[in-house]
Structure formats: structure tokens, C-alpha cells
Amino acid sequence: MTLRTLHLSDETGRDATVAWRPVPALPAPAPGLDGAPVTFRRWLAASESGTHAALSAAHGGDYAAELVDGDPEVDLEVAGRPVGETDAVLLSSGGELLYAAPQVEEQLVAPGGAVQTRRAPVDTAANVDEVLPVRVGAKRMKREEAVRRFVFSRTLQLHHVDGLTYEYLHGLAKRLDAAGELAPVGAGREGREPLVLQGNGTPWRGFLEGRVDGPRYQLLLHLAQLELKQPTVETP
């Protein structure tokens, strides 16, 4: 367990390491029956001889009549057996279990689904809690403009960790709130690179929003990876 932190530099160049947490959404209603909760279960439905591939090999491509006449897909020894924890494994294209690490190829896929580039994997390091802080940019954007340009699909709430960082974050929230603006937040020396929260994770464009209510504040880092735009190529 660890406290998730972010090394932030404000528009004046002052920096501090602060904590963050995702803003939680209201949970979806739990499933139930007659007012009582139900539990999710996984179980074995078929043995290997009952899979589509095995049935196709044994009975030909169209085996509907065999299913009706002889129930070849039902294996009473295993059907209904509960499935607990499992480990993910990889099979070769021929269906054999792999005991050695596979080769991994990275594919860049263009809109429309065509593979544009195949290459050796390029790892991306996390960059929000490094020696070089992420920077609050000077180019601001009104809230009303931002929500009509970007889809903010995640929001992190920044937390102070002591009295000094309380003053720091409250002051930043107050300045942003007074202007009604969002400030871009970027990584790298110029503060223009996208934010990567974890190794090989999604690159996000960050926008900081502040709200103040007396001594209380909300400093929200809205994350976008999608613009409100029309595709140039229709995806099938």
C-alpha cells in the first residue's frame, strides 16, 4: 500500500509534493433478488471436449443435430464445478500452453483499425512523481470552453499532506477559481508532455480546476484523452 503522490510546480515556479486520489463516482446499484443480495459465481460449463473447437473437429462445422441428439457438450463430471481464483496464461496459436515468455510486438493502430506500424515494445515511464515536477501552464482556458473541447474521463483530487502544502494548494485553487479557468498541467522540462500516472499507462492531458469555499478547497486535476471531434475515418 502506498500514498499516491504528484510533484507539482505552480505558475510561479514553486513546487511541492502532494497526494492525490481519484474522485469516486456513485456506485452502481448492487444486483439483488426480492430485496436480498446475490453473489457472482463462475463455474465450469464444459470440459475441453465440449468447446466449439473440439466439437467442430469431432462432428464437423455444423453440429447442431449432434447437440440435440447426444449432448456431446455436456460432461457431467465437470459441469457446474465452481471456478475460484485463476492465473492468466497464454496458449500458442495452435492451442498449446506456453511455458516460456512469448515475443511481444507493439502495434500502432490507425483510426479505422489498420495496423500502421509493428515494432519492438517501447516502454513509457510514469512521470508525475519525478525529480522534475509537472508544471501548471500559463495558457488558461475557461471552464465553458474546456468542456466543449475535451472529454474529461478521469478526475484526480489533489490533497495537502501538511500545513505548508495546504497553503500551497488552497492558494492555487483560489487563483483558478477567481478566474473561472482551467490551467493545463504537463510533464517534462517545458511542461508540455502528457501525464503518465503509471508505467506504460495511458497518456493524459491534464487540466487543473480550483474551487474555494472559505478555508475549504477542491483542487481537481481533470484528465482527458479524447477531444470532442468528428472522426476523419469511419471505424467499422
Partner 1 sequence: MPTPRKTTAPHSPAGPWPGRALVVGFGGEIAAFTLQKLSRKDLYVTRRRVALDDAGQPCQRAALTRDGMLLRSGMTGQGYCNADGTWVPQKALTGLGPSGESLPLVPGTLGTEQALEPATAQQLLDLHVTAVYRLTSVHAAPKLESALEAGRIFRYPFNYRADFRAETAFLVANAEGAFAVVGVPAAPAWLGPDAAPPPESPALDDLDFDMFSEGA
Enumerate residues 46-85 that contact partner 1 by CB under 8 A: 46-48, 50-53, 83-85
* Identity of the residue, 1 or 64, whose beta carbon is nearer to partner 1 in the bound complex: 1
Closest distance of CB 14 from partner 1, Å: 19
* Identity of the residue, 57 or 108, whose beta carbon is nearer to partner 1 in the bound complex: 108
Closest distance of CB 61 from partner 1, Å: 16
- Site membership for partner 1, residue 7 (CB under 8 A): no
Contact 45, 51 (CB under 8 A): no
Chain positions 182 to 221 lying near partner 1, rule: CB under 8 A, are: 197-203, 209, 211, 213, 215-218, 220
How far, in Å, CA of 136 to CA of 185, rounded? 5
Q: CA-CA-CA-CA torsion for 136, 141, 145, 147, nearest 10 degrees? A: 10
How far, in Å, CA of 135 to CA of 192, rounded? 8
- Site membership for partner 1, residue 231 (CB under 8 A): yes
Which segment (6-14, 59-67, 120-128, 185-193) binds partner 1 by CB under 8 A? 120-128
* Identity of the residue, 13 or 96, whose beta carbon is nearer to partner 1 in the bound complex: 96
* Identity of the residue, 13 or 62, whose beta carbon is nearer to partner 1 in the bound complex: 62
* Identity of the residue, 9 or 202, whose beta carbon is nearer to partner 1 in the bound complex: 202
Contact 191, 183 (CB under 8 A): no
- Total residues interacting with partner 1, rule: CB under 8 A: 110
Contact 14, 168 (CB under 8 A): yes
Q: Using CB under 8 A, pick the residue from 13, 35, 60, 61 that binds partner 1.
A: 35
Q: Using CB under 8 A, pick the residue from 14, 43, 56, 74 that binds partner 1.
A: 43
- Site membership for partner 1, residue 151 (CB under 8 A): yes
* DSSP secondary structure of 174-217: HHHHHHTEEEEEEBTTTT-BPEESSTT--EEEEEEEEEEETTEE
How far, in Å, CA of 148 to CA of 186, rounded? 20
Closest distance of CB 145 from partner 1, Å: 8
Q: CA-CA-CA-CA torsion for 29, 33, 39, 41, nearest 10 degrees? A: -110
Rg of the chain over CA atoms, in angstroms? 26
How far, in Å, CA of 127 to CA of 8, rounded? 11
